[in-house]
Amino acid sequence: MSWFSTARLAAFGVVGAALAALVWLAADRFSQKAVADASEACEKAASAPAGDLGKCGPNITTRIAADRATVVCEGALLPELRDEKRFTASQACGPGAKRLIAQGDAQAAEIASLKTALDKVTADTAAAVTRAEERGRAEQTRKNNARQIIDDAPRSADGRIACDADCLRRLAN
C-alpha cells in the first residue's frame, strides 16, 4: 500500500467518525428536546390543581400526588376551613393528620362548651349583683325612713324619744 492509500483510508476513517459523531449528537439533541418537552408538559400538569399527570413518570406522579394531598391536609388543619374540607381531608390525609384534626375538633367543641358555661355564669352573676343592689337599696331606704321617723318622733324634756303607737307602727313598716 502506498502512503496515499493509507492517508486516504485514514481520512475516510476520520470523516466517517466525524459523521457518526454528528449523527449521534443530532440524535442526542432530539432526545434531549423530547425530555425537555415532556418535563415542561409535566410541570404544567403538576402546577394545575387537577392536571393530567400522564406525561410524568411514576416517581414524579407519586410525588405530585403526595404534594397535593399535603396541601389538602394543611388546608384541613386550619380551623376556619375545617368544615369545608372535612371529606377531602378524610380521603387525602394520613392517620397523623386525621388525629390532629380530631383533636382540634374536640378542643373547639370544649371551647364552645366552656364559652357557653362562662356566659351562663356571667349572666347568673349579673342577676345576683342586681338582686343584691336592690336589696341594699331597699335596706338603705328602710334605714333612712326609720331614721326620719325617729327624728320626727316627739321628745321628752330630758331629750329621750317618746315613740307612741303610731310611731311604732310606722317603724314596723
* Segment 92-107, tens digit of pLDDT: 777 887 887 788 788 8
155, β-bridge pairs: 161
The per-residue pLDDT for 85 is: 65
Q: Full-prediction pTM beyond 0.85? A: no
Question: Mean pLDDT in the chain?
Answer: 80
Q: DSSP label at 161?
A: B
Place of cell 387537577: 50
